[in-house]
Structure formats: structure tokens, C-alpha cells
Amino acid sequence: MNKLLTGLVLLAAALSAQAAPTAFAPRSDLYDVSWGSIGLGEGTIALSPLQGGCYRYESVTNPMAIVRWTYGSPKETSEFCVVDGRIVPKRFVYANDKRAKDGFTLDFDWAAHQVKTIKGGEVSMRELPDGTYDRFVIQLAVRQWVIQHAGQDKPPPLEVKVVDHRRIKAYRFVLSGKEKLQTPAGTFDTLLVERVDEKPGDSLRFWVSPDRGYIPVKVQQIDDGELKLQMLLKK
């Protein structure tokens, strides 16, 4: 009887682990992208495995023709590994076929605690604090944090550092509440995660859906109190 009970407990634990969402399951999601009130086209965010516990996280924009001619098709790629459950960035690339001057690359050297920035043919080195992410893979770090604290009404804030080609800045993300949200992909019960900025009127917001593995079904970038970038999940 004890063996049967033990077996049932282990089976229940295994099924629970299988059912639990993970931030690193391969996936590809399509979004409507707009800049302010102007529709820009579609964007795809995809996560795919590499070797040795590493991954590629990629955002590819497929803008409408007039936008593509004038602005281009921006693309962001983060390569990272997962070590002891932590996201460890390795390389970040931003590129735009119409605006080459805006492109840059970050190479992370955690052994030396340095990040190398390549932009416009110039190379610079900066000190790299522990727990620093690039500006794109931070989305996965936020999602992982939400999954880890699922079921908690007020989890502790997520304190992180984000690096781009100009600076390294500390940010705080908080769980702000729950909302029922309508998107082109349907209606979702969501959790709202907001970036708390020192500058009033600036923020980054993610509405994540527990029913969809805590992926963002809506994303907003707010600058000076104005909506700049918005992404809505498509079918």
C-alpha cells in the first residue's frame, strides 16, 4: 500500500511538472504592430533551441510596403543560455535593412564581466554587472519571473539591469493586477506587468495570459506619457 501511495504521489508530481509552463518552450507568435495610432504591419517573436542548453530569441517585423520603403524591417536577435535556471545572455544583434546606422551588436563576456559593443564600425568595452540582460531578452526574464510567482497576488518586484549600445540601466518590474483583454487572437484573462521608471510618463507594459503559457498577448511602450509602440497577439 505504501509503495502504491508513493507511486501515485510521484506520478502526480510528474504530471504537475509536465503541466507547469516553462519560459523556454520553443514557440512562434504573430502580432499586429502599431506605432502610436499608425499600423505598421506584423511581427513574429520566436524562441528556438540551440545546443547545450542555449536558445535563440528573435523578433522579425514584416511591415506594410510603405513602411518598409521608408523605415525598413527591424530585426532583434538574442542568443542566451540557461544556467541553474537563470538566463545568461551571450549575444544581441539589432539590424534594420533601411537604417544600417542604427544597428549594433552586444557580445557578453561573463568570465571577464565585460560587454563589447560594436556600432558603426566602432568597438567599445564596458563593465558588465551580474544579472544584466539585453533589451530584448528581458521579455523572457519577465515572463520567467511571472511563471515563478504564479498564484501570488503581490510577488516581490523583479529588479534587473538592461544594457543597450548607450548605457546600462536598472529597472523594476511589478505585477499591477488582472485584466480581461480582447485581442485579434481572442479574449484573455491576463496579468498586467509594468516597468516602474524613475522618469514619470515612461513605462513598458506586458499583459500575459496564463492560458497561453504566460506569453504576452499585448505589449505597450510608453514614452513621455504617450503610447509609442503596441503589439497585439494575432490568431
The predicted structure's pLDDT at residue 19: 43
d(Cα 142, Cα 38) in Å, to the nearest integer? 27
Q: Which range is least confidently modeled, 5-19, 75-89, 219-233?
A: 5-19
Q: How far apart are CA 232 and CA 40, in angstroms?
A: 12
The pLDDT of residue 225 is above 60: yes
Label residue 12 by pLDDT band (50, 70, 90): very low
Q: Residue 14: pLDDT above 60?
A: no
**Cβ of 150: how many Cβ atoms within 10 Å?**
12
pLDDT in tens, 172-205: 999 988 999 999 999 999 999 998 876 777 888 9
Mean pLDDT of the chain: 84
What cell was used for 27? 514557440
pLDDT for 129 equals 94
C-alpha cell at 84: 541553474
Question: pLDDT value at position 67?
Answer: 54
Position 153 confidence tier, pLDDT thresholds 50, 70, 90: confident
pLDDT tens digits, one per residue of 117-147: 999 889 999 999 999 999 999 999 999 999 9
pLDDT greater at residue 6 or residue 90: 90
Q: Tell me: the pLDDT tens digits for 83-111?
A: 999 999 999 999 887 778 889 999 999 99
Contacting residues for 107 by C-beta, under 8 A, at least 6 apart: 90, 91, 115, 116, 118
* Res. 8: pLDDT tops 50: no
22-60, pLDDT tens digit by residue? Answer: 788 999 999 998 876 667 788 899 999 999 999 999 998
User: How far, in Å, CA of 156 to CA of 212, rounded?
Assistant: 23
Alpha carbon distance 230, 32 (integer Å): 8
